Structure 1
Amino acid sequence: MSEQWVTARIKQKGDSKCIPWRNLRDLIMVHPDVKKRADIFALSIYGLVVFPKALGHVDEAVSDLFDRLDKGVTPVSAILAETFRSLNACRRAGEGRFIGCAQLLLVWFHSHFWKVEKVSYRVFSENYSPLKELVATPRRDDITKEKWMAILQNLHKDDVEWRASWTVPDEILYRCGDFDWVPLLGIWGAVGYTPLLVLRHYGSR
């Protein structure tokens, strides 16, 4: 996409500058380069699903991150940062809409909120993927919004597994300089993450 193409189509949505998905979709349909079509489609997935900000639009900050993926930059820390930022904002306000990848949050829910019998040795397999396992699991379509609210409001400590069954113990980064926390940089801001508290939840010393 040329700078002129973007400038002609960029829209102001709240505090963000975004490209409408319909413009990206039209470009995917007509672009002569097949690889670039796939790249634009992948950018759209990042903007609409992984880092959603405005409905039906891709934030320009997402394109900046996407541009760096070819250079080996991992999006994982940005996904964590934006997930924590959004959940904290909703908690502080006592209301609000979660802005993040709802599908990944659902994986976290299913990984931690229901204790089910799992084949533990599978996590050591090179081909094991918790995401693939969740996709292969029959979907629960019978959980209504009201039922989710009841589940979350009535959770007890013993109902939550603080460590996912597929987490293999490894070295953990828990300091940044002289601070006992790690700053996670997102695409719209940063949040402090304290792995030592997480370890305490795991029951580690």
Structure 2
Amino acid sequence: MLFPNVNDFVDCAAMNAFVGYKSRYENPVTAILTEVYGTLNQCHELKRRKMLCCLPVLYVWFISRVSKGILNATCPVEELLQCKPEIKGANEWAQLCASLSEEKIRWCASWQQGSHIIYHCGNYPNVPLMGIRCCINYNPLLAQRQFGYPMRGSPTSASLATLRIYYEEGTFAEVLHQIRDAWGNIVRAEGDPRSWTVDERIPYNQWLAARVKAVKLPFKLISPDSNVEKRLLNAEVQQAKLLRAELERTKQENVTLTNDLQNLQQNYANLKHDKMESEWVHEELIRKQKQDLTSVNAELRWKSMECGITEISERVRRDLCGEFKRDKQEALEKL
């Protein structure tokens, strides 16, 4: 996919992609994706130019979308090896492509579940890519159904801003620096706050039909159905109803969770207040007990002092009585 259709020839750009992977652990997937988009764009601009370098990856991607799929497959290549699609000629491929409808396409493969889609990088409205021959961007809004996200409406012109630079056309160093800096600030689908990227007033299928007429795809439906547009519109309306119901249910859950959170916060405040009040009562009780203990100790000290004074007075009284008796006895003896 990175090599031109020349036998025994590898150019320096392709070698740089593998050297970057080997020495700097740079993922070559972005380079391959850039080559695919760049080749598709170049073929569309030049009209009827054959594609040679990107056919394997496009074939794997296409088969993964129109086959029934393998439940335990972990990547599209493994799925391709297990399903073993039939070999078809040009007419058979043309009939298959012309007969495809929205119901026949497997939008979200099992090996893509759990992927985190990148919506834009830096100041770019989409995702810029650097390849070995060109720089180009891809618009994740057009591929979000493949990652399990619904098509909420038609993408706006601002979200589909074009970046297309082929290195042989002139200077490109400044653009490469800008793209490298933008990849330092990627925004994924779940964290994208932008609302101007999608116009929900215009259904996606209506926008797609207008794009088909503008691009002028070179085939027509083999069995045209006059009710296809009406059926697609009804399906889109039904999908919108389901999304509104899901949004309403999410809002109700949000209100319930908000009320529960407020109740928990109130309960926490009440418990905190009760705890503070209990601590204050406990401190008051301890302070009062300390005061009572101090008063009891003082009273005991006074009583102890009073008892000591009483004992001393009694002893003095006894001594004085004894001395008086002795003096009286001596006086009687003298008489």
| Fold agreement, TM-score > 0.5 | yes
User: Are residues 111 and 148 of structure 1, via their aligned partners in 2, closer, same or farther at CA, if it must alter by over 3 Å?
Assistant: same
Q: CA deviation at 1:186?
A: 0.8
Pairing 1:59–2:11 present: yes
User: Are residues 132 and 51 of structure 1, via their aligned partners in 2, closer, same or farther at CA, if it must alter by over 3 Å?
Assistant: same
String of CA shifts for 1:56-98, please: whole Å, max 9, x gaps. 1212211111211112011100111111111122233331111
Matches within 5 A, 1:45-124: 50-56=1-7, 57-70=9-22, 71-114=24-67, 116=68, 118-119=70-71, 122=72
Task: Give the secondary structure class of the aligned counterpart of 1:161.
Answer: coil
Pairing 1:138–2:116 present: no
Check whether the contact 1:52–1:99 (CA below 8 A) recurs between aligned residues.
Answer: no
User: Are residues 51 and 106 of structure 1, via their aligned partners in 2, closer, same or farther at CA, if it must alter by over 3 Å?
Assistant: same
Check whether the contact 2:38–2:136 (CA below 8 A) recurs between aligned residues.
Answer: yes
| Of 102, 115, 118, the match for 1:157 | 102
CA distance in 2, matches of 1:93, 1:162: 30
Which of the two has greater helix per residue?
2
> Stretches of 4+ moved more than 6 A in 1?
none
CA distance in 2, matches of 1:193, 1:83: 11
CA distance in 1, matches of 2:49, 2:33: 19
Q: CA deviation at 1:183?
A: 0.4
**What's the TM-score, normalizing by structure 1?**
0.63
In structure 1, stretches of 5+ residues that fail to align are 1-49
In structure 2, stretches of 5+ residues that fail to align are 153-335
Q: What residue identity is the alignment partner of 1:67?
A: V
Q: CA deviation at 1:159?
A: 2.7
Task: Give the secondary structure class of the aligned counterpart of 2:120.
Answer: coil
Match of 2:123 in 1: 178
- The CA RMSD over aligned residues, in Å, is 2.3
Match of 2:114 in 1: 169
CA distance in 2, matches of 1:117, 1:54: 31
Match of 1:148 in 2: 93
Q: CA deviation at 1:200?
A: 5.3
Q: What residue identity is the alignment partner of 1:179?
A: Y
Q: CA deviation at 1:189?
A: 0.4
Question: % of aligned pairs identical?
Answer: 30
Q: Which is higher, the Rg of structure 1 or of structure 2?
A: 2
**What's the TM-score, normalizing by structure 2?**
0.40
| Of 140, 150, 155, the match for 1:203 | 150
CA distance in 2, matches of 1:203, 1:100: 32
Match of 1:5 in 2: none
